[in-house]
Chain A
C-alpha cells in the first residue's frame, strides 16, 4: 500500500476533460516552470500555507512555535484568530482517496465525466498513482501530466487511463531547460509513445509571452503531433499575471524572467493546417 500526498480536490473542474469531473491534485513536481501558478504543488512535503493578505501581525503564531525549522506540526493553525493558516498536503492511501473521489460518482458518470488526476506532477508518485487509477476504475480517468517521468512509468500510466492531458511547453531543449529546469528530451520521447499509442489525448500549451508563444514554436509542435491517432485537440492556455498570487502563501518568491504584462500570441493556424482541433481556453 503506497501512500500519496495531495494538495487539493476540486469539484466541477470544467477545463480538465469531458463532462462533469472531479480533479485531484497530487503534490510535488520535478519541474520548475518559471510561470507555475500552483506553487503549493511543487514540494513533495507537507507545508504551511498562509493567506497573508488579511494578516494583522498579531504574533500568536510566532509565540506558539517551538521549532527552529518548521516541522508542519500545525500548532500555529489553531491560534490564528482569522484562520489564515492551513496545512497544505493531505496524506492518503489510494483506496481511501478513491473512495472520497468516487463519492457522488453517479453524477460524474451520468454526465460523461469522471476523475482527472493532476498535480504537481502526478507521475512523480508512480506507485501511488497506479494504485489510485486501479481503485478508481471503471470510471473514466484522465491524467494531466507534463510528460516528465521515466518512460516505463509514463507507458504504464498512459496504458491504464482513458484520457491523457499532456503539456508541451516548448520544442526547443535549451529554452526548455532555461525556463523549466530540465531539457525536453524525456518529454518528447514520452510524447512519441503517446502519439503512437492510439490513446486519446489532449495537448495543452501554456502561452507564455515572449517564451513559447511564437508561430515557429507552434509550427514545430504541430509537426510533432500531425500523425497522432489519438489526438483529440490542442488547447492553448494564455498566461495570466495572477499566476504569482499564491507564492507568498507557501513562503516562495515569484520571479518571472519574462514580460508578465505582455499579452501572449495565440496562433491556431499551425494546428488547423493539419486539421487538428485547437482552441484558446
Chain B
C-alpha cells in the first residue's frame, strides 16, 4: 500500500475520524419518534421522514486527502415507533430481530449503472398509473428518499469544493444522480447507497458479488488508459477502508457482526468461471489492509485452481478468520432443489454470515430461527431412552421429537412485521415497478433455520449406541441419572463418556453415520413446510450465537458435556475432544448430504498459526480446503489461532487491540467481544503440527 493509504489506515485504526461525530442529545431522537406517533403517520412515511431527518442532521466531512467520501457523524438513528406502539405491533406480529429489513443482498449494480434520477423517474411514471393508497405512498416515499440522498450529496459536493477538492466535488455532482462512468464514480456511488441503507436503519447490509458488478467499470477505465493497475488498486484499498469507518455504529449481536460480506469468484449465469482481475485485487487488498471489513467470501468449484486456494490461505494466515469458502458444486444444486431458478442459483451470495441468498430478488430470512439438535436429543434421552429396545427405535424417537420441535418452532413465524424501507426497496428488483415495499416480499421469501449442536448431539447418541445398546456396559437409567446429576457422583462414567466414547471428527462411520441421519432428518422435517409468505424452509448447518444461547437451559449430555458448557460453533467437532486431525475432520463432515442443508453454515477448523510458517505449508492448507470441496463439502472456514496469544489478550487487552478472530459467521476484534465468546474461541479445538 502507498503512503496515502497507510496514513488513512492508521487514522482509522486510531479512530481519528470519531472526532467529527456529533453529540446529539437522546431527547432529539425520542422527540422525532413521539412526533411520528402524535401525527399518526403511516410506517412508510415515518421511514422516509426518519431518513430525511438523519441525512439533514449529517455534517459533510471530507477527511484529509480522501477520494471516496461519506462518513457518519450522527451516531444514532431514531426509532420509528414509540415503545408503546411497538408493543402493540408485537402483539399481532412476529418480529425478527430488530424488526428492520436486514441480512439481504441489495442490487446496487442497477442503480449505480443508471443513476438515482432514472430510478426517480421510474417511480414517477409508476405513480401516475398507481391507484392504491399504499402504492402511492410507497412511490412518493421512494422519490422523497432519493431526493434526501441527493440533497446530502450536494452538501458533500459543496464541502469538497470548499476544501479545494474539485475532483471529488465533480464526481459528487454527477453521481449517484446519474449512472457511474468510471471505476471511482462507481465506488463512490456504492458508498453513498450503502451509507443510505445504514441511515435508513437497515443493517447487515451485505455487499454481494462486488467483483462481478464492478468489474466492467474497472475494465473500461484500464482499457481506456484512464487508470493503471496501481491507481485502481489504490482506489480499491481506499474503498475497503470506508467499510471500517462507521462500522462500530452498526447494529449487531457483538462488535464486528455487521454483515459487510463480499463474495468473490464463482460461476456466471452461463456456468463459466467468473473469477477476474478485480476478484484477485480484492483478495490482495484485504491481505494488505488486514481489516475485519469487508469480510471476504470465495466461491469455488471443482475446477478452481489450487493457486486461488493458496491466495485465500495467505489471507487465512493473517488471522482475519476469512476467506470463507463456498462450493458452487454443492450450493447451486442445493438451491435448485429448493426451487431457486438456475440463473438465480448461479448468482448466489452469502448473507451476513454464511447463508446462501440471491442478490436483488431474495427477501429470504435465512436466520429466522434454529433447531437445537442437542435439545431434541436431551428430551428423547430423558423421556424415552429407558423404553427403547434398540438404537434404531431411539433414532425413530429422535425423528418424531425433532419434527414436533420443528412444528413448534415454525408455528411462531406467523404474520411477520418489518419496518418498510424505501431505500432498500429502490435497490431490490421490481419494488418500484410494482409499487410495493420490499417488506411485502420479493421473488424468494424463504425462511432458514440454523442447526446447533450437531456434533454434541451426534456424540451423545454415539456414546449411547456403544455403551447402552452395543456393548451393554452402561444402563440407560444410569446415563439419565448421571446427566441429571450433571455427572456429580458419576465421575468415572463421565470420564468414560467424555474421553473414551467415539466422537465425530475422526472419520469413524460409527459416529458419523448418526450425523448423516440427523442432518437428513432436519432437512426432511422441513421438506413440506411453507411459510405464510409463500416461501419454503431451509435447513442449515450454522449455529450463529445459538451455541451460547442454547446451552442456557440445556442439561448435561451423554457425550460428557457438563451443564453450561458450550456447544460447538457452526459445523465443527465438539469442543475439547481429541480428533485425529484435520483430514479426518473434513472426511467426517463431508459425509452428510449437504445439498439438503442449503441454508449454509461452514465447517470451522482452527489451526495453530505456526502451521502457516512457509509457502509449502500454505500450499498444504490450501490442498486441505480444496480437498473438502472436492469430496462434497459445502462451506469451510479456517482460523489461524494461537491459544497463548488469546489468553494474553484476555489479560492484557491493551496489547492486542488489533487481534482479529472469527466468532461465528463474522470476524471481530477479540478484545471487543463479551467474555463468554472469548472463552469459546479459546476452547475450540486447536490443531497443532
Note whether A and B form a binding pair.
yes
Q: Chain A contacts of B689 at CB under 8 A?
A: 10, 12-15
Q: Chain A contacts of B621 at CB under 8 A?
A: 14
Query: Is the Cβ of A78 less than 8 Å from the Cβ of B582?
Result: no
Q: Chain A contacts of B614 at CB under 8 A?
A: 279, 281
Query: Is the Cβ of B587 less than 8 Å from the Cβ of A107?
Result: yes
Determine if A20 is an interface residue (Cβ-Cβ < 8 Å). Answer: yes
Query: Is the Cβ of A20 less than 8 Å from the Cβ of B495?
Result: no
Q: Could you give, for residues 1-44 of chain A, a 1 whenever the CB lies within 8 Å of some chain B CB and a 0 otherwise?
A: 00000000111111100111010000000000000000000000
Main secondary structure of the interface of B (DSSP, over half): helix
Q: Chain B contacts of A15 at CB under 8 A?
A: 617, 689
Determine if A80 is an interface residue (Cβ-Cβ < 8 Å). Answer: yes
Query: Is the Cβ of A111 less than 8 Å from the Cβ of B627?
Result: yes
Query: Is the Cβ of A81 less than 8 Å from the Cβ of B620?
Result: no
Main secondary structure of the interface of A (DSSP, over half): loop
Q: How far is the CB of B498 from chain A (nearest CB, A)?
A: 7
Q: Which of B492, B507, B617 contacts A79 (CB 8 A)?
A: B492
Q: How far is the CB of B513 from chain A (nearest CB, A)?
A: 16
Given contacts A79-B492, A80-B495, contact A11 B627 (CB under 8 A): no
Given contacts A103-B507, A104-B583, A279-B614, contact A12 B624 (CB under 8 A): yes
Query: What is the interface size of chain B, counting residues whose CB is below 8 A from a CB of the partner?
Result: 26
Q: Chain B contacts of A20 at CB under 8 A?
A: 583, 620, 623-624, 627
Given contacts A19-B620, A20-B620, A281-B613, contact A81 B582 (CB under 8 A): no
Residue of B nearest to A103 (CB): B507
Q: How far is it, in angstroms, between the C-alpha of A13 and the C-alpha of B689 when the chains are bound?
A: 6
Q: Could you give, for residues 111-123 of chain A, a 1 whenever the CB lies within 8 Å of some chain B CB and a 0 otherwise?
A: 1000000000000
Query: What is the interface size of chain A, counting residues whose CB is below 8 A from a CB of the partner?
Result: 25
Q: How far is it, in angstroms, between the C-alpha of A279 and the C-alpha of B613 when the chains are bound?
A: 12
Residue of A nearest to B585 (CB): A11
User: Which residues of A253-267 are within 8 A (CB) of B?
Assistant: none
Query: Is the Cβ of B616 less than 8 Å from the Cβ of A14?
Result: yes
Q: How far is it, in angstroms, between the C-alpha of A107 and the C-alpha of B625 when the chains are bound?
A: 11
Determine if B581 is an interface residue (Cβ-Cβ < 8 Å). Answer: yes
Determine if A273 is an interface residue (Cβ-Cβ < 8 Å). Answer: no
Q: Chain B contacts of A81 at CB under 8 A?
A: 491-492, 495
Q: Chain B contacts of A14 at CB under 8 A?
A: 611, 616-617, 620-621, 689
Q: How far is it, in angstroms, between the C-alpha of A231 and the C-alpha of B336 when the chains are bound?
A: 53
Residue of A nearest to B621 (CB): A14
User: Which residues of B423-445 are within 8 A (CB) of A?
Assistant: none
Q: How far is the CB of B376 from chain A (nearest CB, A)?
A: 28
Determine if A83 is an interface residue (Cβ-Cβ < 8 Å). Answer: yes
Determine if B580 is an interface residue (Cβ-Cβ < 8 Å). Answer: yes
Q: Chain A contacts of B492 at CB under 8 A?
A: 78-79, 81
Q: How far is it, in angstroms, between the C-alpha of A278 and the C-alpha of B492 when the chains are bound?
A: 51
Determine if A68 is an interface residue (Cβ-Cβ < 8 Å). Answer: no
Task: Please list the residues of chain A having a beta carbon within 8 angstroms of any beta carbon in chain B.
Answer: 9-15, 18-20, 22, 78-83, 103-104, 107-108, 110-111, 279, 281
Task: Please list the residues of chain B having a beta carbon within 8 angstroms of any beta carbon in chain A.
Answer: 491-492, 495, 498-499, 507, 580-584, 587, 611, 613-614, 616-617, 620-621, 623-624, 627, 630-631, 687, 689
14 contacts between A and B (CB under 8 A): A11-B580, A11-B582, A12-B620, A12-B689, A14-B616, A14-B621, A20-B620, A79-B492, A81-B492, A103-B507, A104-B584, A107-B587, A110-B627, A281-B614
- Extra contacts besides A103-B507, A108-B583 (12): CB < 8 Å: A11-B581, A11-B582, A11-B583, A15-B689, A18-B616, A20-B624, A79-B492, A81-B491, A81-B495, A104-B583, A107-B627, A281-B613
